[in-house]
A = this chain, B = another copy of it.
Amino acid sequence: MSSTETYVLGPNQYGKAECRLVRVERDTPIHVLRDLNVSTQLRGDFAAAFTDGDNAHVHATDTQKNTVYALAKEHGVASPEAFLLVLAGHWRAQPWVSGTQMSAEQYAWERIGAGTPGSGHSFARTGRETRTAVVQTDGADTFVLGGLTDLVVLKSTGSEFAGFPRDRFTTLPETDDRILATSVTAWWRYTAPVPDWDAAYAAVRTAMVDAFAGTHSLALQQTIHAMGAAALDAVPEVAEIRISCPNKHHFEVDLSPFGLVNGGEVFVAADRPYGLIQATVQRAGTPAEPRAWTSVPAFA
């Protein structure tokens, strides 16, 4: 196809996605479990594979998968962030690699069976939010993002929405009492390693949840900003946080045709459409670092 001579290869990356890794620490009868979904992506001198099918530089994605499991054995999984830093350290040292993106989801488990012989090695998935982490490198620079997704929260009162503009297409009445519900997705950027990645994660999560609960909401926008600010309050090493929140509408059912007054007691939880509010809260004076966010699903 001679025409391709006039085309150029733009940004690209490749790797292995969704390596499901369960790492058990079993040095004592009280086992410790890490349950991750790991993806690795490489950037660098790989153009010949695209343009000529020349794989001389292409570390096979199968090799990338093997590396996840081998390094999990050799180094353990102290936390998602710590493990991704190990992976990034491995790949950045390889020929032809100029940048990397290592990412993971972590699923939470709780211990079960207290009082039974299996209590040290038995677990149930909690099903709460999914913890996420991204480590990116660009040459010698390293960037760490923490995150979470599917954190579903709801307030059954303490939420208003009024004072918005009314135009030809506006029909929504104002309200001073509604259900506010959302499923929080967030990513936050660390400017420095923290002593305990799990503790930092827990601090951000708790701060956001408490801010959601504690904010009398005039708009989901306001609640998002409060959650972001609370996260920055909680962990000094967090420079900025991106938050994406669908407004999971709960409509008060009109029961008047049945001679009933609803009174904020009976709601239909709607699926689609939904409001979608996305915002970044940043620590003033901290320089932006777009390379930390390369390829991260976002709205920047």
Contacts and interface: CB of A to CB of B under 8 A. Distances in A.
A49 B155 CA distance: 19
A237 interface: no
Nearest to A154: B123
B282 A7 contact: yes
A123 B156 contact: yes
B20 A255 contact: no
B163 A17 contact: no
Nearest to A74: B260
B214 A24 contact: no
Contacts of A155: 118, 121-123
Interface stretch (A139-147, A193-201, A290-298): A290-298
A56 B225 CA distance: 17
A118 B155 CA distance: 8
Contacts of A278: 12-14, 41, 295
Interface in A47-88: 49-63, 65-67, 69-70, 72-74
A192 interface: no
B56 A164 contact: yes
A266 B218 contact: no
B14 A221 contact: yes
A4 to B, nearest CB: 4
Given A31-B156, A152-B125, A298-B295, A161 B55 contact: yes
A258 to B, nearest CB: 5
A54 B163 contact: yes
A267 B58 CA distance: 25
Given A31-B156, A125-B152, 4 more contacts: A20-B270, A60-B161, A74-B260, A124-B151
Shortest beta-carbon contacts, A-B, top 6: A113-B213, A127-B127, A53-B218, A10-B280, A116-B214, A122-B213
